Amino acid sequence: MKRAFVTGITGQDGYYLTRLLLEKGYDVHGIVRRTSSMNRRRIDQLKEEMPESADRITMQYGDVTDAAALIRVVMELEPDEIYNLAAQSHVRVSFDKPGYTQAANAEGCLNLLEAMRLLNQRKPVRFYQASTSEMFGGLPGTVPQSENTRFHPRSPYATAKVAAFHHTVNYREAYGLFACNGILFNHESPLRGENFVTRKITLAAARIKEGMQTDISLGNLDAERDWGYAADYVEAMWMMLQHHEPDDFVIATGESHSVRDFLREAFDRVGLNGEDYVRIDPKYLRPTEVLHLCGDPGKAREVLGWTPKTSFTELVQLMVDHDCELARRERLYQEIGGQLSPGTAS
Ligand code: NAP
Ligand code: F7E
């Protein structure tokens, strides 16, 4: 039985990747940060959905900024595959927390690569780094972005991820390690954090429809993103580590849409006109915006045989339908005197 070590296991991708690895028969180990209130709801949901596999998920406390503890965990677990998903992953928030973002997103990756290098002296181990389309910066004239597009990071999040990208390539070249970068474009799901724009919109559409919310405040509606479905994208992560040689791959749909398009499509699904409910609030604008991202997944298709399975419209619909059910339950709960509401958006 293969053993995987996943950082960021409590996040959106942590849920979908763990589900995939369990389906493939892996033992999955993850680290969780100590927080004052428990933050394991996605993994608890997975254990409920797959009770027969729940005992193959093991969690322990850890943090990618704690190099010593990370080395101990990796050397004790001796995983076959390491997936580094841990990150301060919110671009807007990275402008407020640049130092922590650098520590978690860049140094965290380096800490894990060092741990992997030590373990690799004892047994072969493979490493996946969660790199991102934000590294490209989305400047005019760069679309579609591929593995050959020059990086132009436009946030502390992206600069840290560029450093992690290069750490990963450097460890591959310097020490001959099996270390890969997945350069993933935006991928979403009903488990997406509530303060990313897609989920913020699908929750708002559902809650406005149920009379639980009156409007939605957003920033730049003209930004364009290449949005795919997270469940499809974690398959690409796994495929990269099964390939016969380590490499870096863009994972994307090859299609982009504006935030305004997403808004229209989501509100259409509940029979409302999104533009009637939107307020523009400058607090959601970024000091430097990434205007247009659209990936070229040609290399992943040709080398790995990976293609996305879920269209933009299907993605929007599955997210809205999920949030309609949540909003309906929220309304019913409120009617009997309780209070249930999703986190405040930022
Ligand atoms: P997410 O939902 O925000 O999950 C991030 C995970 O990292 C959470 O489990 C979080 O723990 C954990 N984490 C944060 N800081 C940590 C630290 N110092 N030590 C250990 N764990 C830490 O993000 P996601 O959407 O699943 O994305 C997964 C990875 O892919 C991230 O690295 C992200 O930057 C990258 N990525 C995402 C996308 C996308 O569109 N989703 C695209 C490209 C790349 P808590 O639960 O405690 O917060
Ligand atoms: O913003 C605009 C915003 O925060 C998308 C992360 O997973 O994908 C994600 O980063 C666009 C931006 O995602 C609001 O200005 C408008 O242009 O959903 P987002 P992101 O910044 O693209 C990449 C690939 C990652 O790697 C990251 O980890 O939407 N936008 N109004 C807004 N965005 C937010 N969050 N909130 C708004 O109100």
pTM: 0.97
Q: Given this model, what pLDDT does residue 344 score? A: 44
Instruction: Tell me, using a 6 A CB cutoff, whether residue 87 lines ligand 1.
Output: yes
Instruction: Tell me, using a 6 A CB cutoff, whether residue 92 lines ligand 2.
Output: yes
Ramachandran region, residue 78 (left: φ > 0; alpha: ψ -120 to 50; beta: rest):
left
157 belongs to the catalytic site = yes
Q: Which residues contact 51 (CB under 8 A, 6 or more apart)?
A: none
> How many whole angstroms from its chain centre is CA 293?
16
User: Which of the residues 134, 210, 224, 265 is marked catalytic?
Assistant: 134
* Nearest-CA residue for atom 12 of ligand 2: 223
Strand 224-225 vs strand 178-184: parallel, antiparallel, or unpaired?
unpaired
Low-confidence ranges of the chain (pLDDT < 50): 344-346
Instruction: Write down the domain spans for the chain.
Output: 3-191+227-251, 197-222+256-291+310-339
Distance from residue 216's CA to the centre of ligand 2 (Å): 15
Atom of ligand 1 nearest to the CA of 35: 47
* Nearest-CA residue for atom 8 of ligand 2: 186
Q: Which residues contact 160 (CB under 8 A, 6 or more apart)?
A: 94, 101, 102, 104, 105, 106
306 neighbors 297 (Cβ within 8 angstroms) = yes
130 neighbors 64 (Cβ within 8 angstroms) = no
Q: Given this model, what pLDDT does residue 313 score? A: 98
* Nearest-CA residue for atom 20 of ligand 2: 91
Check for a shared fold between 3-191+227-251 and 197-222+256-291+310-339.
no
284 belongs to the catalytic site = no
Instruction: Tell me, using a 6 A CB cutoff, whether residue 63 lines ligand 1.
Output: yes
134 belongs to the catalytic site = yes
Distance from residue 85's CA to the centre of ligand 1 (Å): 5
Q: Given this model, what pLDDT does residue 346 score? A: 44
Pick the CATH number of 197-222+256-291+310-339 from 2.40.50.100, 3.90.25.10, 3.90.45.10, 3.60.9.10: 3.90.25.10
Q: Given this model, what pLDDT does residue 339 score? A: 62
Which CATH code for domain 3-191+227-251? 3.40.50.720
